[in-house]
Chain A
């Protein structure tokens, strides 16, 4: 265990800080929170510094320990692992700090203590998942990650909706794990070892099956359409810093799994690229369309995770197509852009969830249409949320643009190929453009309705922001968005180094041509900044000595405006949702206004998720019906249960 000392030190510090509150500290609420959150942060910091090593020098680290004498727990840290570790530790570091003030309810001391246990378990297990180097280790860490995040989702278990969300998440993560296990089972049946090394020797038909199963399993964790159903339920239920971790990094472990299994299979069939790319386009467009229709700010952000997972898969899919078509530049642009988007999305999505958490913390509501005008009293939250919004829309000078830019260029490279590759690259480019436009519509809605205008309710009026530990992470993340957006060279280089360890057969990748691309972004952004500063100076000059007066907003002749007349988020998104009607059926409940003296009326709308609808009809109902018929198996008689176990062992004896 010599080689990965610092990594394990980080993991132990994180776990230790999580266990400590349970023993004696939970009686001292403030002390417990401080120790746990600072301890986890310190562990993450060590891990973060350590993870940069393999990326910069390209040396893989390995560690192994026997477990139960049956198999070895093996960990390996290569470029790809390090890249994901950087995202995991960076976000977990800030989320731990954020929790210090966010977990404010001192009546729930034990629960907060337990939350820190699962929080540390989640962070540690994610770090172990991306370094696991054999199938058993991987599955163990994977299950630990799924279970610890399940307990965090049901943190507020008094609420029935949250319990349902947790249950849904539990089923999805376990069914997903079953698919991964099935894929590993096929590998084991051919390779007869738990190691990752034998996978490349599988016959091609087995490889296709392994990839398909693993894609479904990992896709359900990542939130790929149509396996994303749990995501918009679980993210709003969890506390906001947990949502930030889950949406920012945990679902990326699914992406890690897809990329890793692709690299391990070592077979660059065009079919893999097609599957991933098409899944990416569908997730991307539908994710953002459903996001537009949401009324709950955290649910909306959760759907945006589906969208961004789509963008990442578009990048990775283009990369796979590039590999199979023998186009290294396209391959590296696709993989590099997709991986960079993993890092970028983890940064701006946790920023947005933390901003939403601040709003929830102060106003007590997540409903977009009752908020408004928050930016006047929550300047830093508003400003950082706006930066996050610009970044998630892929707009320069922020980080989202950089990764989308690389994916675009990769896509354009693909249009020079023939037939299927041409058609898919063309669709990928157009999907990216449409996703960008829809995301802009969605986030102008969130910023415009929640943070701008006038408060729509009393809850939105009495707000402030004083909690330093919540503000500091948001400012750090917003700064990271800007730094990556203006100087993307180093970070794109990191993503390319991570892509190197996919064993695509390109050896050490020359970074110079890619640095030229990112350098262009820097130049373009700096030029725009210069123009902006000049305009700023010009404006200051023009307003010198001018009369500037304040007055009410022009009500177009109406003299008694009220805040309730403001445009709502539902109406803002209405016409776009209508355009996507068949894919996003809108259910409205609105008794018509009738009579000469009409009574009060109301309006309700809900956008249905077709995946949720059809999954209920096609899978859930038949399965429930089938299990209902088997109910007699479960009779509560313990003797018969022991009989079942006996029977199972006897049957196994015959087959094994």
Chain B
């Protein structure tokens, strides 16, 4: 029951957290910024509207938003939120979930290619490229987690006090893992310095340009899906950064939500103080995450035994 409640709480809170990033950026820019509830207003506005479809598109264009939202929602059902056990879990679920997110990516790209727009093709090519390195990083981190816990599921990694166990087993190298996961978070969710969600030139976008032709509820699905995906990655980072459990579910939840806020603020700060990398420098940046995860895994498994 708690797991189901937390699942819906996550869906409810994800848009709010994403708004924190906007607020932080506005603060750095010396502006008042949009209200913290801006994403809810946007979603409601989009859901009320109808849609315009390009004459070039087919049914795949409509499948894109649905599949990516479906993937994000399913992933969330397997995610332990605030240390509570998730709704579903099974051995190997993390592999299934990463590939399910892959299905979402396949259809997002396919929907973009459906429009025959050169700009969307450009964005799609980048969307297909950068996450390859992220997957390598994630699997490298999984190897570390697997050897420490002997399990292959999100529930075993992020429930209750387990993240603290990683610190005990791996020690300081786990800092590398946190950093690597944070880079993956930035890449997978199209944040600065990989992608700039606020840019106004289609040529320089990745994710935003791929959804140019979507409108109305379709666009709302995409937006919600990306809020949830960011929430998923932020939860993993949060649980590693702050693995403490106070013993009481409500107290744990408060600590978790507060730490989540810190992670989102960190994303906002990075977005405010950094510029987006040149496109050909991005792979090097993302590769850093792989190198970090690789070192952390090899050091803690081979040398600290």
Contacts and interface: CB of A to CB of B under 8 A. Distances in A.
B22 interface: no
Given A405-B95, A527-B74, A539 B221 contact: yes
B282 to A, nearest CB: 9
A536 B124 contact: no
Contacts of B279: 575
Interface of B: 47, 49-58, 60, 66-67, 69-71, 73-74, 77, 88, 90-93, 95-96, 99-100, 102-103, 105-106, 109-110, 112-122, 124-126, 128-129, 131-133, 135-136, 138-140, 142-143, 146-147, 150, 152, 202, 212-213, 216-217, 221, 279-280, 283, 297-298, 301-302
Contacts of B55: 550-553
A99 to B, nearest CB: 30
B50 A549 contact: yes
**Interface size for chain A: under 10, 10 to 19, 20 to 34, or 35 or more residues?**
35 or more
Contacts of A34: none
Contact of A396 (B77, B96, B152): B96
Interface stretch (A214-222, A247-255, A441-449): A441-449
Contact of A448 (B50, B69, B124, B298): B124
Contacts of A563: 116
Contact of B118 (A395, A432, A531, A567): A567
Nearest to A543: B217
Contacts of A567: 113, 118, 120-122, 124-125
A639 B164 CA distance: 87
18 contacts: A373-B116, A393-B102, A396-B103, A430-B139, A437-B133, A438-B132, A444-B109, A523-B88, A524-B88, A524-B96, A524-B100, A528-B70, A532-B66, A546-B51, A555-B117, A566-B117, A567-B124, A576-B132
A204 to B, nearest CB: 30
Contacts of B77: 527, 531
Contacts of B90: 520, 523-524
A375 B58 contact: yes
Nearest to B47: A542
Given A396-B100, A520-B93, A528-B71, A452 B131 contact: no
Interface of A: 372-373, 375-376, 386, 389-390, 393-396, 401, 405, 408-409, 412, 415-416, 419, 422, 426, 429-430, 432-434, 436-438, 440-441, 443-445, 447-449, 452-454, 516-517, 520-521, 523-524, 527-528, 531-532, 535-536, 539, 542-543, 546-556, 563, 565-567, 571-576, 578-579
Q: Is chain A's interface secondary structure helix, strand, loop, or mixed overall?
A: helix
A45 to B, nearest CB: 34
A539 B66 contact: yes
B51 A548 contact: yes
B136 A433 contact: yes
B249 to A, nearest CB: 25
A550 B52 contact: yes
A579 B113 contact: no
A389 B106 CA distance: 10
Nearest to A454: B116
Contact of B121 (A422, A548, A552, A572): A572
A448 B95 contact: no
B129 A575 contact: yes
A395 B99 CA distance: 6
Given A405-B96, A556-B202, A550 B54 contact: yes
Contacts of A434: 132, 135-136
Given A395-B102, A412-B143, A548 B125 contact: no
Given A543-B51, A547-B50, 6 more contacts: A405-B92, A452-B113, A531-B77, A549-B52, A556-B119, A573-B125
A46 B91 CA distance: 39
A434 B90 CA distance: 24
Contact of B212 (A523, A543, A554, A566): A554
Nearest to A513: B91
Contacts of A445: 128
A440 B99 CA distance: 11
A452 B110 contact: yes
Nearest to B127: A444
A394 B99 contact: yes
- 3 cross-chain pairs, A with B, having the tightest CB-CB distances, nearest first: A567-B121, A448-B113, A437-B132
A553 B56 contact: yes
Given A447-B110, A556-B119, A551 B135 contact: no
A653 B52 CA distance: 87
B117 A441 contact: no
A152 to B, nearest CB: 34
Contact of B138 (A372, A433, A573, A575): A433
